[in-house]
Amino acid sequence: MNPFLAEIAQLDTAATARGPNGQVPLSAGFDSDFCETVMVPQLTGLGRDARKEKTVVVPCQVEVASFEALEEVLGGASPRSRLTLVFHFRDLERLNLVDARTGEPLIGQNDRLVAIRDFRTGDVVQAIRTPPGLYITELQPQFGLGGRRNLLLAAFGERALGPSGAA
């Protein structure tokens, strides 16, 4: 067993909906048509995502399927990564990351992996570049001995940097 700490940036939907500087602009922080966060224009660069986040650190195991394997897209090459973090529900409950009423985990799709940290020291072992970032794409509870739910598998994947289908 090789425990690590996962630093996860959770999407704060209430703060994002308020938009930049806590004001409610015309579009706020969400696109009403696509139900996703919007890009805020900036003087330099392409802009920044309007998403507001809060960070949690959770003990986990790390299973890497692929990491930054390049895939050709119309805009060039985009790194493809897929990894799974294995959380114990006992740790999630201790950190108040399980809804007491429903038993649902309070980490979820669109939460972003910031870094993998050393379990003992908290030092960064692997930072995750954003963009493209790695986001939870699937949560899968696991049931163990004695018929109890004990593990949560969280699959993380990147967001493409361009449209697929390079000719």
Which pLDDT tens digit goes with each residue over 42-84? 566 665 666 778 999 999 999 876 565 555 555 555 567 789 9
CA distance 70 to 100: 41
- The answer to whether residue 11 scores a pLDDT higher than 70 is yes
- State how many domains the chain has: 1
The answer to whether residue 30 is domain-embedded is no
Across the chain, what does the average pLDDT equal? 79
In a domain, 81, yes or no: yes
28 falls within a domain = no
Domain that holds residue 149: 4-11+52-158
Q: Could you give the percent of the chain with pLDDT greater than 70?
A: 61
Residue 125 belongs to a domain:
yes
Provide CB contacts within 8 A for 66, sequence distance 6+. Answer: 80, 81, 82, 83
Structural domain includes residue 34 = no
Average pLDDT over residues 31-36: 58
Assigned domain for 144 exists: yes
Give the integer Cα–Cα distance in Å for 80 and 48. 22
Length of the chain: 167
Q: Token pair for residue 25?
A: 């602009």
More confident residue, 22 or 143: 143
- Residue 18 forms part of a structural domain: no
Average pLDDT over residues 105-128: 94
pLDDT, average across residues 107-112: 90
d(CA 149, CA 167): 46
**Vertex 130: Cα angle to 126 and 132 (nearest 5):** 110
Place of tokens 């940290």: 117
Q: 13: how many CB neighbours lie within 10 A of its CB?
A: 14
Check residues 93 and 130 and name the one with the higher pLDDT.
93
Q: How confident is the model at residue 92 (pLDDT cuts 50, 70, 90)?
A: very high
Whole-number Å distance between alpha carbons of 118 and 50? 30
User: Please, what is the Cα angle at 15 between 113 and 98, to 5 degrees?
Assistant: 55
Looking at residue 122, its amino acid is G
Distance CA 68, CA 104 (A): 31
The values of phi and psi at residue 163, to 5°, are -70, 145
* Residue 46, in any domain of the structure: no
- Give the whole-angstrom CA distance, residue 47 versus residue 60: 33
Task: Look at residues 18, 2, 10, 1 and name the one whose alpha carbon lies nearest to residue 95.
Answer: 10
